Amino acid sequence: MAGNPVAERDAMARARELAARGPRGVNPQVGAVLLSPDGRVLGEGWHRGAGTPHAEVDALSRLRPEEARGATAIVTLEPCNHTGRTGPCAEALLAAGVARVVYASADPGEASSGGAARLTSGGVDVDRLDEAEGEALIADWLFVQRTGRPRVTVKWAQSLDGRAAAADGTSRWITGPEARAHVHRERSAHDAIAVGTGTVLADDPLLTARVDGEPDAPQPIPVVFGTREIPAGAAIRQHPRGYRTAGHELERELFGLAAAGLQTLYVEGGPTLASAFLRAGLADRLTIYLAPTLLGGPRTVLDDIGVGTIDEQRRLTVTRLEQLGRDLLVEATTGKEH
């Protein structure tokens, strides 16, 4: 059955807007728009979190039964084909009498995929549209499905000679205000922020995201790696989202964070934690702030990362270079992207 290309493309763009209203977590953000055969919008829906109706069912709930028959469903993710906390969306669409389904990203789940095939076998016309945009919308969720862990960004600030602090341990401030403002935007863009207990004891950070002009900026949940006790008066105890603790087995802890619905982790600890993630091969991206200053001394930004000879060096792919005030931002990938 031929669709209405203009109406369907507009509806898919709208479905992505709706999807973004949903929370990030264990489930993907999904939006849906139902169109009449002549291209009119009949209803809209999005997924509001685990245990709530999926986007397609949410949209169907806004229609009278006779309106759904013969309609086209535009969905950002392939309708699911399994029963979890809610029933399969593919069956709901079939039962409603929807004639055509257009989706963007394929569902990668072993249990939940197969919705497109089920709809086709039920006589529904199925098509794909805006696949790249659909995958970009849920890129972090897709990363978790493929790897079982959050996407990890490791961040540090350094002098041009590779130091994170002066010889006496002082480090405020190596970088300027523009770089520090960028750090806060990066914090807000991640689901969680990681430091070690050493950083908590030495710097007493609050680890909130303070973004100029955005008093309600999303806050990452702090994760403190290590076994030393966090003092009763530590600033992190006042974080609006509380905090989590984690041990030294990084990969196992990352699996636990993913199970809790955290899709991205911003590692902002000192050299010990940054080196541990790199050494374990668990760093996917690096965000480095280079300050035009020299410090000398022993306080290097990294310690042992498992490189014994030059042939073992960790080559990076630089993805972004930007001047931030007097400092230089370098973003790179480690080759561990999935």
C-alpha–C-alpha distance, residues 201 and 231, integer Å = 8
Q: Is 136 annotated as a binding residue?
A: no
Closest to 25 (Cα-Cα) out of 269, 260, 281, 210: 260
Kindly give, in sequence order, each residue whose CB lies less than 8 Å from that of residue 29, ignoring residues fewer than 6 positions away: 19, 20, 21, 22, 23, 46, 47, 76, 137, 138, 141
Do 191 and 315 lie in one domain? The reply is yes
Do 127 and 156 lie in one domain? The reply is no
* Total domains, the chain: 2
User: What is the model's pLDDT at position 1?
Assistant: 56
Q: Domain ends where: 97, 113, 137? A: 137
Instruction: Establish whether 56 is a catalytic residue.
Output: yes
Do 50 and 191 lie in one domain? The reply is no
Q: Is 162 helix (H, G, I), strand (E, B) or coil?
A: coil
User: What is the model's pLDDT at position 336?
Assistant: 56
Do 28 and 85 lie in one domain? The reply is yes
- The answer to whether residues 80 and 90 touch, using CB atoms and an 8 Å cutoff, is yes
Arithmetic mean of pLDDT, 303-327: 95
Do 128 and 152 lie in one domain? The reply is no
- The answer to whether residues 72 and 41 touch, using CB atoms and an 8 Å cutoff, is no
C-alpha–C-alpha distance, residues 198 and 176, integer Å = 24
Say if residue 324's pLDDT is above 80.
yes
- The answer to whether residues 182 and 330 touch, using CB atoms and an 8 Å cutoff, is no
pLDDT in tens, 131-179: 999 999 999 999 999 999 999 999 999 999 999 998 888 888 899 999 9
User: What is the model's pLDDT at position 81?
Assistant: 85
User: What is the model's pLDDT at position 187?
Assistant: 95
Q: Is 276 annotated as a binding residue?
A: yes
Do 41 and 152 lie in one domain? The reply is no
Do 162 and 289 lie in one domain? The reply is yes
Do 181 and 82 lie in one domain? The reply is no
Do 90 and 238 lie in one domain? The reply is no
Question: Is the omega angle on the peptide bond into residue 173 within 30 degrees of 0, that is, cis?
Answer: yes
Query: Whole domain around residue 197: which residue ranges?
Result: 147-333
C-alpha–C-alpha distance, residues 302 and 296, integer Å = 14
Establish if 338 belongs to a structural domain.
no
DSSP bridge partners of 33: 44, 74
What is the percent of the chain where pLDDT is above 70? 98
Give the CATH number, domain containing residue 288. 3.40.430.10
Q: Is 274 annotated as a binding residue?
A: yes
Closest to 174 (Cα-Cα) out of 160, 187, 188: 160
CA 100 to chain centre: 31
User: What is the model's pLDDT at position 2?
Assistant: 63
pLDDT in tens, 194-247: 999 988 988 888 999 999 889 889 999 999 999 999 999 999 999 999 999 999
Q: Identify the band that residue 253 occupies on the pLDDT scale cut at 50, 70 and 90.
A: very high
Do 161 and 273 lie in one domain? The reply is yes
Establish if 142 belongs to a structural domain.
no
Q: What value does the mean pLDDT of the chain take?
A: 92
Do 61 and 153 lie in one domain? The reply is no
Q: 213: alpha, beta or left, given left = phi > 0 and alpha = psi -120 to 50? A: left
Q: Which of the residues 56, 91, 253, 331 is marked catalytic? A: 56
Say if residue 303's pLDDT is above 50.
yes
Q: Domain ends where: 137, 164, 183? A: 137
Do 176 and 129 lie in one domain? The reply is no
Q: Domain ends where: 137, 155, 190? A: 137
What is the percent of the chain where pLDDT is above 90? 80
Say if residue 338's pLDDT is above 60.
no
Question: In 10 A of CB 2, how many CB atoms?
Answer: 7
Q: Is 194 annotated as a binding residue?
A: no
Establish if 175 belongs to a structural domain.
yes
